[in-house]
Amino acid sequence: MIAPRWRVDCVVGARPNFMKIAPILRAFSADGRFATRLLHTGQHYDAAMSAVFFEALDIPAPDVTLDAGSGGPAEQTGRAMIGLEATLSEQPPDLLVVVGDVNSTLAAALVGAKLGIPIAHVEAGLRSFDRSMPEEINRLVVDRLADLLLTTERAANAHLLAEGAKPEQIAFVGNVMIDSLRFAAPRAVPAAQTLAAHGFAPQAEGFGLLTLHRPATVDDGEKLARLIAALGRIAARIPLFFPVHPRTRAALARLGGLDIDPRRLCLAPPVGYLEMVGLIRDARFVVTDSGGVQEETTALGVPCFTFRDNTERPATIDCGGNRLVGTDPAALEAAIAAFLRDGAAPARLPELWDGAAAPRIAAAIAGFLERRTGPPVGAGPA
């Protein structure tokens, strides 16, 4: 058996990271040239937000688990940096792989850059052009620090080039989230089973699915109250199922009593990944402020209404699968009413959202490391 040539450390911390790293780890293993170490910062530490994803996506247990925990962005990022610095200083890898745009991604990129470790950023170049979003700041900083920029759509390449990245730093590899989606789809829990487990039973009319968690959506009590009132009116037309993020649950609690009919608008705890895939697949439509859900609905061909003024994933709109409705609840109501009346036009799948992004990522990283380290000792001419 040939010994691996390179040691690569992969950093995860929050729910969106897990779906991206799982197929990458499998691709590294299949390639044979990589020894990998999985570092979990502990940004999401409860079972509903972390452990269930490792099981559902067949991710090996982390080699190192830190304790970033909850708290404000600076506190969380700082704790992750302290733990990562100690770990990476003791055993520096040949490359550090970071994914997405969460605080753990930023923490790892900052530590890696200060320690002189090359960094590869999976999902580079996405831009909402809204710096009020914490994720946008993370994206900008991580892409500036990364040595290899792995992109999910061609618009991301253009953003990176406009910001001064060199063409040779960029590789368009496609969307690795779709790799995980295809891996999970055969084992997805049917929506009817999940709905029944929460005492919710839509009939022939079907149901709509909600996922809302961003600070801009839920932290302002007055705005959230207007949104919930609008969702109640939408639910009178078609039942809505709402797995509520812990942040959103706390915001709703601050509002006090909600004037909703639980038979039409079901507020449920967070669900696992296999349950969420089944819910998205079987829903008539999805309302979200999540970037990842915009991608998953697009890949599954389910109409998506994004309750935001911008999106860093324009490919989902360009292909016809996603509609950006803004943050006016009345506009959301109007969009859903039009959809229920007229339906939606067929959408197409964005380029390289084919379930084979992870092998392309492994190949791009191998090429990058080959250029840095040269061919293996004893290798003949190409």
Active site residues: 213
Question: Alpha carbon 318 to chain centroid distance?
Answer: 19
* Structure tokens given for 150: 């792995």
Closest CA to 231 of 243, 221, 245, 241: 241
Strand extents, DSSP E, 142-299: 148-151, 170-172, 208-211, 240-243, 265-268, 285-288
**5's tokens:** 């040539």
CA-closest candidate to residue 210, choices 317, 323, 310, 293: 293
Burial code (b: 16+ CB inside 10 Å, e: under 16) for 91-120 equals eebbbbbbbbbbbbbbbbbbbbbeeebbbb
C-alpha distances (whole Å) from 27 to each of 183, 201, 320 are: 13, 40, 30
Tell me if 337 sits within 8 A of 237, measured CB to CB.
yes
